[in-house]
Amino acid sequence: MPTWRDGKLGLPVRDAVKLFPELEEYIDERGRLDLSNRRARVLYNRAISRAVFGLDIEYHPKGLVTTPVSRYLFLKTFLRGGERVLEIGTGHTAMMALMAEKIFNCEVTATELDDEFFEYARRNIERNRARVRLLKSNGGVIHGVVPEGERFDVIFSAPPYYEAPTKGVLTEREGVGGGRYGEEFSVRLIEEALDYLKPGGKVALFLPDKEPLIDSITKMGEELGYSIKDVRFKAGTRWRHSLILAL
């Protein structure tokens, strides 16, 4: 079980500096890390990945700086260990795919759309000697990407939900979910997942604390016959949701 010295997930800044001395230039006189600086965020999250989760992660220069603790807390809401899982849109870090394989001992397949992100994900998988099968999506969600007839215990994703790209943080493909609340990708995913889930299988979505978005996906999930469980959890200073849709 990943922990730090006090039994809580996380990493003191000074311990992070021991792993990445370059972080020193982003610390003020009170010992606080300037997390408004992208390079500081990348280095700090790389340190957490290595010290707490045993992962060596490389970030794309323009990719979202995913936080390891929030991703682990999300996975913990629905994985029990040993499941056959599919991640849709693993991103440049492949972080959740790696955690599912390394920490939860899952058999993992992951997809990615963006060419450069795919290459970074492939390198992260190789760097961590993980047995993750990586598939290029070429614009599809599940249909046309994952071979027909395959079945999974869990299909999960951190879907795009921003209504417009965020300059300097998200690429265009990361940042547009489509629909009034950015829910179109998630709705398409839960529709297509019905053809790829084992009996009793489930879909899990990592979502922001945005009620209209969650309500929209929940309504469609219920219409498709899923039972819905919304697990709200705090990662750092922000609330996140694990929306779990079970057959």
Q: Is the pLDDT of residue 89 over 80?
A: yes
Maximum distance among all Cα pairs of the chain, rounded to whole angstroms? 58
pLDDT band at residue 32 using 50, 70 and 90 as cut-offs = very high
Q: How many residues does the chain have?
A: 247
The overall average pLDDT reported for the chain is 90
46-63 pLDDT, tens digit per residue, is 999 999 999 999 999 988
Q: What are the tokens at 64?
A: 């979202």
Q: From the CB of residue 41, how many other CB atoms can be counted at a distance below 10 Å?
A: 17
Domains of the chain from N-terminus onward? 13-53 (no CATH), 68-246 (3.40.50.150)
As a whole number, mean pLDDT of residues 177-184 equals 67
The whole model's pTM is what?
0.91
What distance in Å separates the CA atoms of residue 221 and residue 215, rounded to the nearest whole number?
Answer: 10
pLDDT tens-digit profile of 134-159? 999 988 899 999 999 999 999 999 99
pLDDT at 176: 45
- The upper half-sphere exposure of residue 111, i.e. CA atoms within 13 Å in the direction of its Cβ, equals 24
Q: Helices 38-53 and 95-102: crossing angle, nearest 10°? A: 10
pLDDT of residue 166: 46
Long-range CB contacts (< 8 A, 24+ apart) of 183-188? Answer: 183/213, 183/216, 183/217, 183/220, 185/141, 185/159, 185/160, 186/157, 186/159, 186/161, 186/217, 187/216, 187/217, 187/220, 188/141
% of the chain exceeding 90 in pLDDT: 78
What confidence tier does 168 reach under pLDDT thresholds 50, 70, 90?
A: very low
Tell me how many degrees the CA angle 50-53-55 measures, rounded to the nearest 5: 50
Specify the range with the lowest mean pLDDT, choosing from 81-90, 158-167, 198-207. 158-167
